[in-house]
Amino acid sequence: MDQEFSSRVLENAVTELSRLPGIGRKTALRLALHLLRREEKDVTALGEALISLRKDICYCRQCHNISEDELCAICASPARDHRTLCVVENVKDVMSIENTGQYNGVYHVLGGLISPMDGIGPDSLEIASLVKRVAAGDIDEVILALSSTMEGDTTNFYIYRRLGDYDIRLTQLARGMSVGNEIEYTDEVTLGRSLLNRVPFGDSFKQ
């Protein structure tokens, strides 16, 4: 026999599971044996949820966030401020910002950051479509909400250069001490930024 397990069905399930990131054959076998002990309807629910995930989710044609329709729930909502645009790296960052409950504008998902080392240039990302949205003239403010890394800064600067000619407010996330952090344990660069970008006392209580 050319297979490791006596059962072809088990072999198949283990092979498919071990294609997931961070799951090797040992973990895949453990998961498969666990599933064998579960109710049939539970396992069917899992399998169908995964198939539906890939089949029923597409990307919003406007902001490139994941969506079940051509336009995502955020882009389609009349309750959101469509003149404020938040630029993020990926779908997870949309979730993180939504979870703060502090943002009511719309998004633009780049699908990555410029990283010449990894062969990711501006053309691999949704930057042209961002420029197009801004050029359409319906945007007042673009908020750059990218990671504070070299790739994030490079992408910020590239977008800044591309959007420089348009009459919009271009802002970026504040850098500073984490809430709940002690000064003693804050690194110097962050502490320096916190000082430079200091705000009037009481501003954060206002809203």
Q: Which residues are at the interface with a copy of itself (CB under 8 A)?
A: 4-10, 12-13, 15-17, 19-22, 27, 29-36, 38, 40, 42-57, 65-68, 72-74, 90-92, 94-95, 98-99
Q: Which is nearer to a copy of itself, 59 or 158 (CB)?
A: 59
Tell how far CA 72 is from the center of its chain: 15
Closest distance between a copy of itself and the C-beta of residue 141, in Å? 22
Closest distance between a copy of itself and the C-beta of residue 72, in Å? 7
Closest distance between a copy of itself and the C-beta of residue 116, in Å? 22
Q: Where are the alpha helices (DSSP H) in the chain?
A: 8-17, 25-37, 40-56, 73-76, 91-100, 127-135, 150-163, 188-196, 203-206
Token code pair at residue 99: 């979870």
Are 86 and 145 a contacting pair, CB within 8 Å? yes
Closest distance between a copy of itself and the C-beta of residue 13, in Å? 4
Residues written for the chain: 207
